[in-house]
């Protein structure tokens, strides 16, 4: 007995084969009828295609508009973080190769979330606005975006929009001092080294 046989019916092999034949005939009949309907179907009016194209064009324009606004918001966050950094730590060292980011959120009944990131915030090679590839060499290899902007963009990609609200930049010393209990020992050993490194973590706890 095959897998598609009705095991709860007590039929002879011949009766089962007859049912299979009828099932096949009905299936073929249905396919033929469907082909007829498709062949006899009237073509869609041009208005339907025009409306579909209009909606697609509007969708693309909306996406482009949102991308522009998102980049503007990233820059606003980066500027605000740099302003707070200057008030807290002074001027950011030019020879600092890493960015140290932290965001902390607390809500009654929601617990507390701490997000940390260490990043070099290097520009991306793709077509995302970090470079103007229409410029001649070597200008086409000079990034248009700042390291602070790229750090915010990367943080957003990891943790989402909500955690941008409490985002702060820190110095290397403050970062490792304030969050040493959240950082792995292997990372702490590298804190005074100049190397390629990307690190992030998220801690959430709730006593409610």
Q: At what angle do helices 46-89 and 147-159 cross, to 10 degrees?
A: 120
Q: Can you tell me the mean pLDDT for 167-194?
A: 92
Q: Give DSSP secondary structure letters for 90-126.
A: -SPPTT---EEEEEEEEETTTEEEEEEEEE--PPPSS
State pLDDT tens for residues 91-150.
999 888 899 999 998 877 788 999 999 999 988 766 567 888 888 888 888 888 899 999
Q: Can you tell me the mean pLDDT for 58-83?
A: 90
**Residue 157: φ, ψ to 5°:** -65, -35
Is there a domain that residue 108 lies in? yes
Judged against a pLDDT cut of 70, whether residue 10 lies above it is answered with no
The total domain count for the chain is 1
* Token digits of residue 38: 């498709």
Cα–Cα nearest to 152, from 164, 166, 143:
164
Is there a domain that residue 7 lies in? no
Q: By residue range, what is the domain housing residue 103?
A: 54-205
| pLDDT > 90 fraction of the chain, expressed in percent and rounded | 38
Q: What pLDDT, on a 0 to 100 scale, did the predictor assign at position 2? A: 46
Cα–Cα nearest to 158, from 111, 208, 205, 198:
198
């Amino acid at each position: 007995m095959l897998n598609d046989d009705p095991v709860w019916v007590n039929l002879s092999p011949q009766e089962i084969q007859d049912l299979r034949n009828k099932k096949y005939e009905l299936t073929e009949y249905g396919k033929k009828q469907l082909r007829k309907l498709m062949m006899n179907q009237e073509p869609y009016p041009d208005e339907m295609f025009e409306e579909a194209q209009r909606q697609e064009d509007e969708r693309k324009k909306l996406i482009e508009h949102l991308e522009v606004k998102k980049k503007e918001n990233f820059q606003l966050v980066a500027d605000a973080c740099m302003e707070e950094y200057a008030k807290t730590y002074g001027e950011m060292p030019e020879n600092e190769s890493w960015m140290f980011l932290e965001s902390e959120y607390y809500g009654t009944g929601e617990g507390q979330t701490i997000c940390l990131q260490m990043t070099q915030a290097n520009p991306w090679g793709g077509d995302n606005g970090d470079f103007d590839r229409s410029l001649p060499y070597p200008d086409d290899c000079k990034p248009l975006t700042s390291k602070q902007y790229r750090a915010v963009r990367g943080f957003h990609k990891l943790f989402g929009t909500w955690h941008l609200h409490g985002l702060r930049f820190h110095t290397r010393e403050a970062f490792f001092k304030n969050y040493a209990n959240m950082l792995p020992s292997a990372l702490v050993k590298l804190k005074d080294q100049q190397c390629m490194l990307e690190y992030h973590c998220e801690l959430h706890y709730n006593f409610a």
